[in-house]
Structure 1
Amino acid sequence: MSTIYRSEAGAQVVERRYRELLGTWPVPAEERRVPTREGDTFVLVSGPVDAPPLVLLHGSGANAATWLGDIASWAQHFRTYAVDMVGEPGFSAPSRPDLKSEAVALWLDDVLTGLGLTSTAVVGMSLGGWTALDYAIRRPERITRLALQCPGGIGKQRFGWMFKSIALHLVGRSDQRASTRLVTGLDKPEFEPVLDDVILTFEHFKPRTGRLPMFTDTQLHGLAMPVLVIVGARDVMFDSTETARRVRENVPDATVRVLPDVGHAILGQTDTVLNFLRG
């Protein structure tokens, strides 16, 4: 049985739905499997061959389908590499490198080398934002620009939403959909299809547990590349006020956007990120 799913049947359900979503990828794409020390890593490559590179790192419980709403725009200007993070519900190996060591950066070393990239811009979301930031701190010469959406490791990680979700279930005022709305902040009717996919994934997928390692002020201050950070004011998973404050106070070349009435899941920032990436 796969270590990241509750059952093999569940793994097949999630992978089948992922394949369906990739079938709606709006631009031509090449699928690659890059050998790494953590196992093969699946990468979806789009955009002009001679355009500047852009690596995309999704969040926990997700995969390259995260970027379906962005890729048509970004791939006009960049050679995009949508990476399925290892240990997440995509097509990469189920391995989960230790976040407290250099293991994640070594994995990403292998990915970039396998793709022939010496340096690149990176967009990272949540766990992918933590991964991108960890890499930029350890390998600053390989990152040209860093765009982070609801990144982990800067503001306090919150767990109170878990107790609220459990309490809602106990008093009979909730179901899985309401709990998912609470965690993601996606509470508008147009987000219902996104909620469907999140619910389907977490019915079968076993996410990482525990706290993400926090970055120090000194580490943040050492970031020399331009950094964009976008957070939602209603994020129940990370303290977005603290994230914004620490980035503003410590990152030398930082742009920070705090979105009111937005939770942990940040959508619709395609143009903001593109304008930043294009300088």
Structure 2
Amino acid sequence: MAEALPRRPPPPTIYRSAAGEAAIRALYDKALAALPYEHAERLVETSFGTAHVLVCGPADAPPGEPDQDAELDPAKHEYGKWALEVLRGLGLVPPANADGGKGTAPPPLHMGTSFGAAVVLDLANVAPEAIRGAALVAPGGLSAVNPWAFALRLMLPAVLYRLLPCSLTAWLSLVSVCDEPAAEELEVVLMGWKHIVRYPPLPGGPSGVFLPDQLSRLTAPTIIICGEHDIWPCKATAAAAAALPDCKTIIIPGAKHFPAKQHLIQAADWILDWFAVKGLVPAATK
């Protein structure tokens, strides 16, 4: 029988009300039901709380991206520690006391977008051996957000929405970060502004940016894809990526934080090609 992990007290709620939490969860269930492929849900216990994991794709493929329900401290690399516990709970990396000898499966490939990319970087600071390869799309944690872009493209529309709550003012925020804004994304923006009190801090410490010596711990082959007009300046992101020992950076011309669908399809090809070059996946047949 597995030993129970120590649990910390639950964090303060991020929701304005119980009704707001119910509305957000209903929106999540709606999005989950609309997924165009088969998936399963798993719960993994960690010392930080229960992680909700979506398992997608072939039965023998690694699970999808986990979602945590705990408040984590970036200064203590708790995002990375949490991710490692989730990976161990899923059986994707050996337990802490395992010898890692012959017969041990290779660690998984990781893909993270935005906040998720910063979690991968934090995992590299905790357990770089748990990462066989990484793809970071529109990553946080590599550079500071452009303050003018953040103020004009995110904060100003948010203030306008507070003063004049309507779809138009919410749409302004969406247009500022999305190449192809969609009604579903608009609904997420509206629900978030209406019901969520605060958002978790970005991994990377107080500044939300990893230092070069921290980035250098991600030694696995890594590809970084970012938009030219992201709120995280692409040039600063590319410069920071130079600290990664084995990294390729691609900047999508004209793209924002959420690139157009055609660019995402192209990004998937870039990722698979990079992993194939590094011998991490079979070469794709085109």
* Residue among 80, 98, 121 paired with 2:109: 121
Larger radius of gyration between Structure 1 and Structure 2: 2
Match for residue 8 of structure 2? none
Q: Secondary structure at the match of 2:21?
A: helix
Alignment correspondent of 1:208: 200
Residue aligning to 1:71? none
Deviation at 1:132, TM superposition (A): 0.3
Partner amino acid for 1:250?
A
**Partner residue of 2:98?**
none
After TM superposition, the score normalised by the length of structure 2 is: 0.74
Deviation of 1:126 (Å):
1.4
Equivalent position SS for 1:132:
helix
Instruction: Trace 1:31-180 onto structure 2 (pairs within 5 A).
Output: 31-51=41-61, 53=62, 80-84=63-67, 86=68, 93=69, 95-118=70-93, 119-164=107-152, 165=154, 167=156, 169=160, 175-180=169-174
Report how far residue 31 of structure 1 moved: 0.7
* Secondary structure of residue in 2 paired with 1:203: helix
Counterparts of 1:198 and 1:152 in 2: how far apart (Å)?
19
Cα distance, 1:166–1:146 mapped onto 2, change above 3 Å: closer
Corresponding residue for residue 61 of structure 1: none
1:276 and 1:199 map into 2 onto residues whose CA distance is 37
Q: Could you say which residue in structure 2 is the equivalent of 1:26?
A: 36
Q: Which amino acid aligns with 2:17?
A: S
Amino acid of the residue matched to residue 91 of structure 2? Answer: G
The gaps in structure 1 that reach 5 residues or longer are 54-79, 87-92
Tell whether the 8 Å contact from 2:170 to 2:189 is kept in structure 1 after alignment.
no
Q: Deviations over 1:212-269 (max 9, x none)?
A: 5322222323432110101111112x1221111221x322211111112111124523
1:137, CA displacement in angstroms? Answer: 2.9
Per-residue deviation, residues 153-198 of structure 1 (Å, max 9, x unmatched) = 21122333453255563998x712212322xx2254x634323333
CA contact (8 A) 2:118 2:139 kept: yes
2-structure distance, mates of 1:217, 1:246: 7
Q: Size of the alignment, in residue pairs?
A: 238
Partners of 2:28 and 2:276 in 1: how far apart?
30
In the other structure, the counterpart of 2:19 is: 9
Distance 1:41 1:166, change over 3 A: closer
Provide the alpha-carbon RMSD of the alignment: 2.6
* Rounded Cα–Cα distance in structure 2 between residues aligned with 1:212 and 1:265: 23
Structure 2 segments unaligned to the other structure (5+ residues) = 1-10, 94-106, 278-286
> Is 1:258–2:212 an aligned residue pair?
no
User: Closer, same or farther in 2 for the Cα pair 1:35/1:109, shift >3 Å?
Assistant: same
Q: 1:277 to 1:5 in 2, by over 3 A?
A: farther
- Give the distance between the partners of 2:193 and 2:187, measured in 1 at CA: 10
- Indicate the residue corresponding to 2:186 in structure 1: 195
CA displacement 1:26-74 (0-9 Å, x = unmatched): 22211101111111110011222334x3xxxxxxxxxxxxxxxxxxxxx
